[in-house]
Structure 1
């Protein structure tokens, strides 16, 4: 495989599930320990946002789930790992779009990953990124 081999829906979904289990569950426990109250998700939300924003920047386009699944985020223009601006576009701008459309854009985005030949979602198009299989 090479960096032009796009990652499809199921492998990306698997990476999200792994991130949720490996990172999300412990973060929820930590947030509960910090706040002392169940239901205060703001700490978990902040930690989760920082994880999804910063980990791909510092870890060559990977999150833990993506690394396990052998996929990574790269910039379409040069195949390099995303920087802060790229990840802000990918997470913040796309997140706002998903929120404004009450999740409809998220469904469209998931459908795009399954149906498009290049497997790029809305947040990939916004940020100029793609998720590809890692080089072997």
Structure 2
């Protein structure tokens, strides 16, 4: 593990990504004049957010849009790019764990990212990932 990203930059990226997803979803709701109280609309909002956090890093070498802006990315423990299975474990299974513990595991995970030397939270341990400032290998060769 090299060039590990810390708590604050990771939190900033998650908040920025949340704002981005919220703006896109909010715009769609406004343009399509959808009922935000509808269970279908609320489920669609959740699915869109989950798809963003699972799929975007798979296609963008571990980056989400905010992570790219802040120059951090998710990688496997060996430094290789994340795949679909890894991101499902990290986001879906990790998110499920945070939900069923009523957020307690999320708080524990935040402390882990803030205090552990390797800066890995529960979701990172589940998926075998960490967050780094290192760029993808093929980008380094082009620089």
TM-score (norm. length: structure 2)? 0.86
Q: Contact (CA 8 Å) 1:98, 1:105: kept in 2 or not?
A: yes
Shift of 1:26: 1.8
2: CA distance between counterparts of 1:66 and 1:25?
17
Q: 1:44 to 1:114 in 2, by over 3 A?
A: same
Q: Contact (CA 8 Å) 1:31, 1:43: kept in 2 or not?
A: no
Q: 1:43 to 1:31 in 2, by over 3 A?
A: farther
Please list every run of at least 4 consecutive aligned residues from structure 1 whose deviation after the TM superposition is greater than 6 angstroms: none
Aligned residues: 133
2: CA distance between counterparts of 1:116 and 1:53?
25
2: CA distance between counterparts of 1:22 and 1:95?
19
Higher RCO (C-alpha under 8 Å, 6+ residues apart): 1
Shift of 1:22: 2.3
Q: Kindly name which structure, 1 or 2, has the bigger radius of gyration based on alpha carbons.
A: 2
| Other-structure match for 2:34 | 36
Where does the alignment leave 5 or more consecutive residues of structure 2 unmatched? Answer: none
Where does the alignment leave 5 or more consecutive residues of structure 1 unmatched? Answer: none
